[in-house]
Structure 1
Amino acid sequence: MDVKDRIRGSERLKKFIYWLLVPKNQARPRLWVKWFVNPFYHKKGRGATICRRTRMDVLPWNIFELGTNSTIEDFSTVNNGVGAVRIGSRTRIGLGNTIIGPVTIGNDVRLAQNVVLSGLNHNYEDVSMPIHEQGVSTAIITVEEETWIGANCVVVAGVTIGKHCIIAGGSVVTKDIPAYSVAVGNPARVVKTYNHDTGEWQRAVNKNLIAV
């Protein structure tokens, strides 16, 4: 039995290791983890920038990757505590974003200000217990390459946004958005899609062009 299996098999040991990495009742790792552990576990591409006022709640037991020439702006929060966070190359995570894994973001993506992508939900089935004690469920969010997400958008767990989409500011994306689409609203719906045959954007006038 290796070290990881021993930790997984002992609830007491697991709690002790977690305490070593993260202060009680906190999500942010201890400074020694940030300085001496995470740099060896996580990948940061050449020319990538994490601005000084970004909150990086990243831990070594899940993946964090930031691609070449990508930027995470100030006042954003990135958390991989319950799922991997992968960010591609030449992508910009705007001011005040919140990204909670599992989340995968492709190349050449732009997230404007105050965007929330959360791949977790809190369980709530047992009404005899506080919700925060019931654990979480996760479903990966995928944002494919070249997509632009406007300010103050929310993308919920399990959603895929296709390539080269535009999500209008203030939208709440609750279902998948097909590639080459413009979506708007709460819940977000597709209002335009790109027709590769005509080379033009066309209005969504039938059910085939609505987010499914």
Structure 2
Amino acid sequence: MNLSTFKQKIDQHPALKSALHNFIMHPVKAKPRWWIHLFYFIYLKRSKGSVIYRSVRKDLPPFNRFALGCYSVVEDFCCLNNAVGDIIIGDYTRIGLRNTIIGPVTIGNYVNLAQNITVSGLNHNYQNVDMRIDEQGVTTLPITIEDDVWIGANAIILPGVTLGRHCVVSAGSVVSRSMPSYSVCAGIPARVIKQYNFENKKWEKV
């Protein structure tokens, strides 16, 4: 039985799902219980030459996927959280200092994330004013960062965004909508400010 089939069966039994969740996740700390870390070597997929520094916070329960590609690096003081969705990171990719990655997120090959970046596919529900926000659960929309993308320091990538191939996100930007390949975006909210023209082989201001 694969992971997807197992999750579907668990979802059909809410009481069992809740008990299993509490067994794996600490109810106050909202992170995997200490003994889950002992099994990371079984279910976390790390490819040849990949590095995760010791100071990285790994909130990586076994009910979603985590994969780190060949020669990719997650630098010090990052937080990786796949509790609500898979995190898949490709080859030769660098996740810079103090980045937060909350799934569902797919990052391609040869991607560079600078410092203090947040990439989160999660949103808290708030619409029902008769309930506390923390009682309303969360929604997720997958983020896709394609190959050869560079994201500047302190940027924020919001749920549902796709960054196309060879896209550049300027430092401090808040990206709330998808950006095309071969573009440079900047601002709050971010917008395309440059686009590569393949006919004249030049970057042109938009």
Match of 1:150 in 2: 152
Which amino acid letter does the alignment assign opposite residue 63 of structure 1?
A: R
Which amino acid letter does the alignment assign opposite residue 30 of structure 2?
A: A
String of CA shifts for 1:103-145, please: whole Å, max 9, x gaps: 0000000000010011011111111111011011111011111
Match of 2:35 in 1: 32
Following superposition, the deviation at residue 29 of structure 1 comes to 0.9
Following superposition, the deviation at residue 195 of structure 1 comes to 1.1
1:165-180 alignment, distance < 5 Å: 165-180=167-182
String of CA shifts for 1:153-182, please: whole Å, max 9, x gaps: 001100000000111000000111100001
Q: Note if 1:46 corresponds to 2:48.
A: yes
Instruction: Say which is worse superposed, 17-26 or 159-168, in terms of deviation.
Output: 17-26
Aligned-residue CA RMSD (Å): 1.5
Which amino acid letter does the alignment assign opposite residue 25 of structure 1?
A: V
Q: 1:23 is matched with which residue: 23, 26, 43?
A: 26
1:61-210 alignment, distance < 5 Å: 61-204=63-206
Count of residues in correspondence between the two structures = 202
Match of 1:59 in 2: 61
Classify 1:158/1:55 alpha carbon distance in 2 versus 1 (closer, same or farther; 3 Å). Answer: same
| SS class of match (1:74) | coil
| SS class of match (2:188) | coil
String of CA shifts for 1:52-100, please: whole Å, max 9, x gaps: 1100101111111100000111111011111111100000001110111
Following superposition, the deviation at residue 18 of structure 1 comes to 1.5
Identity %: 49
- 2: CA distance between counterparts of 1:71 and 1:121? 27
- 2: CA distance between counterparts of 1:160 and 1:4? 26
| SS class of match (2:42) | helix
Which amino acid letter does the alignment assign opposite residue 151 of structure 2?
A: I
Which amino acid letter does the alignment assign opposite residue 89 of structure 1?
A: D
Following superposition, the deviation at residue 22 of structure 1 comes to 1.4
| SS class of match (2:160) | coil
Contact 2:124-2:138 within 8 A present in 1 as well: yes
Instruction: Say which is worse superposed, 16-25 or 142-151, in terms of deviation.
Output: 16-25
- 1: CA distance between counterparts of 2:104 and 2:184? 24
Following superposition, the deviation at residue 197 of structure 1 comes to 1.6
- How high is the TM-score relative to the length of structure 2? 0.93
Following superposition, the deviation at residue 5 of structure 1 comes to 6.0
